[in-house]
Amino acid sequence: MTVAPKREAYDVVVIGAGPAGLAAAATSAEAGLSTLLLDENIGPGGQVFRAIASTPVTDRNQLGADYWVGADLVQSLRATSAEVIHRATVWSLDRNLDIAVSVGGASAFVKAQRVILATGALERPFPIPGWTLPGVMTAGAAQTMLKSSALVPDGRTVIAGQGPLLWLLAAQILRLGGRIDRILDTTERGNYFAALPHAFAFLTSPYFAKGLAMMREVKAKVQVVSGVTELSAAGEGQLATVSYVAGGKRETIPADLLLLHQGVVPNVNLAMSADVEHRWDDLQLCWSPVLDASGNSSVAGIAIAGDGAGIGGANAAVVRGRIAARAAVEALAPAAAAKLRSMAALRADLAKAERGRVFLDTLFRPAPQFRIPSGDTIVCRCEEVTAKDVLDSVAIGATGPNQLKAYRRTGMGPCQGRLCGLTVTELMAQARGKTPQEIGYYRLRAPVKPITLAELAAVPKSEADIKAVVRG
């Protein structure tokens, strides 16, 4: 049973119950602050620990030991007095720290003294020809089905792209008895050399041995084609074939399912709609919030932790959650901060958790042809705008994503740019010979997730309204 928040105001409201949010809420509540954790999913865990409290997968090896770390985080949170609400969609946050949340079909408003955003990551758009065909989906969506329902593909399946999650998903599918016909690795050959100077840090990171073992495990069972430089999907109303070029040779293979993945990027929509300042990250090729060492953003009272603060992975997310929460405790109840792990120790934890990240970011930096499409390839799915449409608009005067709305309505559909924003920024930057930072991003607006008119209409009336509205 999902219920509305018990109070109108909290010391700390944490948004998102992935690793960062679980850790932040536990730390804040442990220190005695009134703490509310709002999360959109049906249970705790976010994406990395999705369904941690409910997964039907019981063999611990199948999802890997790292997955089950989430169970401990959930345990420590449950030991506190933090109020946790799942299936709660936060659809508005502003600089006054007023939060609008939709719970069980009704909206509620809460106010916070501190907000910790732990909204995690989104998969980077992968706009290749045919990516909008039924039968093409993101690896993340496939992983969601696998974790929450133990569903794995059984048709002819191709996985294409790059990055740690791609290999993890492949391993998980195989362990659960799913089918993978081929893996098309789009990692650029040059990236291996570029990443080399950072390899030492990575060798000493916990990801190294695990990552290597996982890739070996997958490669033993599936044909892996590396150095893929071109990729497209085709079919009449449904995916039928996948074409690719590797080593200069083109091949077309039949497929029922194509899973695409080229890394994750911070989910910035809620933070941006609250006017938090973001900067373009040239290494991770995405927008990241401008934060101080404690995760505080440009808007007073709003801190950001986890992958939403810049991609760092689950271990870093946990520490960042603790750091942001500790900073909130220091501000609101300094005496209580003494019993928490010291900031210096937490920062050392973070440095350790972030070791090897630059190597991964450099190695798995997606190639331009998979980020910046051309011709008839769809860029904006909501409004069916192609790369050519965007370039045509640039030619007659559109200077950035917001101006482009006046020409093509890009970013004005229900997804508010989640599926096209990065593509539009980079495409326009390339076309205009500017940096993504100069080109900018969509101005995002609440509700960051659509709410029904009926739900908004059900918002409790103010005194004045009750007096005024007697008709109907």
Partner 1 sequence: MTRCVDAIVVGGGIHGCSTALHLCLAGLQPVLIEKDYAGRHASGVNAGGVRQLARHIPEIPLSIRSMGIWEKIKDLLDDDCSFESHGQVLVAENEEELAVCRTRVAELNALGFTHEELIDATELRRLVPAVAESCPGGVVSRRDGAANPAQTTTAFRRKAEQLGATVREGVAASNIRYSDGLWHVDVGAETFAAPVLVNAAGAWAGKIAAALGEPVPVETVAPMLMITSRVPHFIDPVVILRGRKLSFKQFSNGTVLIGGGHLATPYQDRNETVLDWKSLATSARTVFELFPVMRSATIVRAWAGIEAKMKDDIPVFGPSSRHKGLYHQFGFSLHGFQLGPGAGAVMAELIVNGGTQTRVGDLGIDRFHPSTL
* Contacts with partner 1, residue ranges (CB under 8 A): 92, 94-96, 100, 107, 109, 275, 396-397, 399-400, 402-403, 405-407, 412-414, 416, 445-447, 450-454, 456-459, 461-462, 465, 469, 471-472
Task: Tell the smallest beta-carbon distance from residue 60 to partner 1 (Å).
Answer: 40
Q: Looking at beta carbons only, is 113 or 243 nearer to partner 1?
A: 113
The rounded distance, in Å, linking the Cα atoms of 304 and 38 is 14
Residues 6+ apart with CB under 8 A from 274: 93, 94, 95, 299, 302
Contact 31, 337 (CB under 8 A): yes
Contact 85, 5 (CB under 8 A): yes
Task: Tell the smallest beta-carbon distance from residue 403 to partner 1 (Å).
Answer: 6
Q: Looking at beta carbons only, is 125 or 400 nearer to partner 1?
A: 400
Query: What beta strand segments (E) does 208-341 contain?
Result: 223-225, 228-234, 241-246, 249-254, 257-262, 264-266, 278-281, 286-289, 302-304
Q: Looking at beta carbons only, is 94 or 330 nearer to partner 1?
A: 94
Q: Which helix (H) or strand (E) holds 123?
A: strand 121-123
Q: Looking at beta carbons only, is 347 or 434 nearer to partner 1?
A: 434
Task: Tell the smallest beta-carbon distance from residue 442 to partner 1 (Å).
Answer: 11
Nearest 5°: CA angle at 42, between 101 and 461?
Answer: 20
What does the CA dihedral 8, 9, 14, 17 come to, rounded to 10 degrees?
A: -30
Task: Tell the smallest beta-carbon distance from residue 118 to partner 1 (Å).
Answer: 23
Q: Looking at beta carbons only, is 66 or 455 nearer to partner 1?
A: 455
Could you tell me how far CA 419 lies from the centroid of its own chain?
12
What are the b/e assignments for 86-108, b being 16+ CB within 10 Å? bebbbbbbeeebebbbbbeeebb
Task: Tell the smallest beta-carbon distance from residue 3 to partner 1 (Å).
Answer: 20
Length of the chain: 472
Q: Looking at beta carbons only, is 92 or 284 nearer to partner 1?
A: 92
Task: Tell the smallest beta-carbon distance from residue 277 to partner 1 (Å).
Answer: 11
Task: Tell the smallest beta-carbon distance from residue 435 to partner 1 (Å).
Answer: 15
Q: Which residues pair with 288 in a beta bridge?
A: 279
Q: Looking at beta carbons only, is 116 or 451 nearer to partner 1?
A: 451
